[in-house]
Amino acid sequence: MAELPVLDSTSEAPSRAAGALTRGRLLAGGLLALAALLMVNTLLGPVGSAVIDYPIPDDGALMSQLLALDVFAIAVVAPLTVCAAVLVLRRHPLGGMVALAPAVYAAYMAPQYVLGPQYLRYDGNSAAFFPLHLALFVLGWTTAVLAWQSMDPAAWVPPGSRRERIVGGMLIPLLAVATFARYLPALLDTAGSHPSAADYQEGPGYFWTIALLDLGVGLPAAIAAAAGVRRGAAWARKTALTLSGWLALVGPAVGAMAVTAWLRHLPDASAEQAAAMTVLGLLFTALALNLFATLRPPLPRPVNETAP
- Where do the domains of the chain lie? 20-191+199-292
User: What's the gap between Cα 272 and its chain centre?
Assistant: 26
Q: Is the peptide bond before 308 cis (omega within 30 degrees of 0)?
A: no
CA distance 294 to 229: 13
Contact 92, 84 (CB under 8 A): no
CA distance 177 to 190: 20
Answer left, alpha or beta for residue 160, where phi above 0 means left and psi between -120 and 50 means alpha. left
- The whole model's pTM is what? 0.83
CA distance 94 to 155: 13
Q: Nearest 5°: phi and psi at 267?
A: -60, -40
8 has a pLDDT exceeding 70: no
pLDDT at res. 285:
87
- What percent of the chain has pLDDT above 90? 33
Considering 71-85, 251-265, 286-300, the range whose residues carry the highest mean pLDDT is 71-85
Higher pLDDT, 106 or 7: 106
273 has a pLDDT exceeding 80: yes
CB atoms within 10 A of CB 180: 15
Contact 107, 134 (CB under 8 A): no
Torsion 45-48-50-55 (CA) sign: positive
Q: How confident is the model at residue 15 (pLDDT cuts 50, 70, 90)?
A: low
pLDDT at res. 227:
79
Q: What is the pLDDT of residues 161-172, one digit of tens each?
A: 666 667 666 777
231 has a pLDDT exceeding 70: yes
User: Mean pLDDT of all residues in the chain?
Assistant: 82
Q: What is the pLDDT of residues 16-74, one digit of tens each?
A: 556 666 778 899 999 999 999 999 999 999 999 999 999 998 888 889 889 999 999 99
Answer left, alpha or beta for residue 50, where phi above 0 means left and psi between -120 and 50 means alpha. left
Torsion 11-16-22-25 (CA) sign: negative
Burial of 271: CB neighbours in 10 Å, binned 0-12, 13-18, 19+: exposed
Q: Which residues fall within 8 angstroms of residue 305, CB to CB, at 6 or more apart? A: none
279 has a pLDDT exceeding 70: yes
Task: Please give the average per-residue pLDDT across 237-244, as a whole number.
Answer: 82
For the chain, what percentages of helix, strand and coil (3-state, to nearest 5) are there? 75, 0, 25
